[in-house]
Amino acid sequence: MGAISTTVERDVDLIVRNNFRLSVDLWNWCAAQRVPYIYASSAATYGDGRRGFEDAFDDSALRALRPLNPYGWSKHVFDRWVRAEQDAGRAEPPKWAGLKFFNVYGPNEYHKGNQRSVAVQLFEQIRDDDAARLFKSDDPDYPDGGQTRDFVWVGDCVSVALWLLDADTAPSSLYNVGSGTARTFEDKARITFDLLGKPANIEYIDLPDKLRGKYQYFTLAALGKLRQAGYDKPTTSLEDGLKAYVHGYLMSDDSFR
């Protein structure tokens, strides 16, 4: 699960060492020792989403994807390496799954600086400044703050990972892990204002130059494959997830509990 997850890292050698070669080493060790292997892929592998968000594992579908940054590229390269290993008939772990996590939020991310989820960053802005800052849109199809994401509560991610470890009938493959619902950043801000009992006050700021042309405006996890594999637990709504996070952790005396 550990990796360089920032989408603006440009040291590709560093990303290759941490995100690709380490994943290969762990895969080979698990194959040799017969240990199940659950690893984090990413929704960043889907790029701008024009080719959809289906978690297909055939080579033609994988070849069609175009990640927008080195982080997404590194995750995609490992997914494709796994596909090549299978096609070559080489040893693999007795059970494995690559989890294409969408926009995860939840407790114990506080050490991640600017890579913390938007949920905690909006909470701090609203708590401290009575205002939320969202990116302006440079895509005419989306209003300012209307960029959408599949925001997924970290508890749902844990639930899927643990289920896959125990589910003997689930095929080894790639699986999307999201809520199955696309919501806007403005939705997220307004819910957080309500949870803090403050009137909505949203400021729109320019998209940084380093993100222009590399910014996802829409993500939505297709969960059919996961459901077909047998996972039947409902996903957590954005309202319920943010309430659990804000009231249960961020406003608690012990945010790590």
Domains of the chain: 12-250 (3.40.50.720)
Contact present, 46 and 53 (Cβ < 8 Å): yes
Written as tens digits, the pLDDT of the chain (257 aa) is: 888 888 888 899 999 999 999 999 999 999 999 999 999 999 999 999 999 999 999 999 999 999 999 999 999 999 999 999 999 999 999 999 999 999 999 999 999 888 899 999 999 999 999 999 999 999 899 999 999 999 999 999 999 999 999 988 899 999 999 999 999 999 999 999 999 999 999 999 999 888 887 788 999 999 999 999 999 999 999 999 999 999 999 999 988 87
Whole-structure pTM value: 0.94
Classify residue 168 as exposed, middle or buried by CB count within 10 Å of its CB (0-12, 13-18, 19+). exposed
pLDDT on residue 3? 87
Among 241, 45, 48, smallest CA distance to 147 is for 48
**Structure-block tokens of residue 170:** 């689930």
- Which positions are catalytic? 71, 112
The count of C-alpha atoms lying within 13 angstroms of the C-alpha of 240, restricted to the half-sphere facing its C-beta, is 10
38 has which bridge partners? 97
pLDDT score at 115: 86
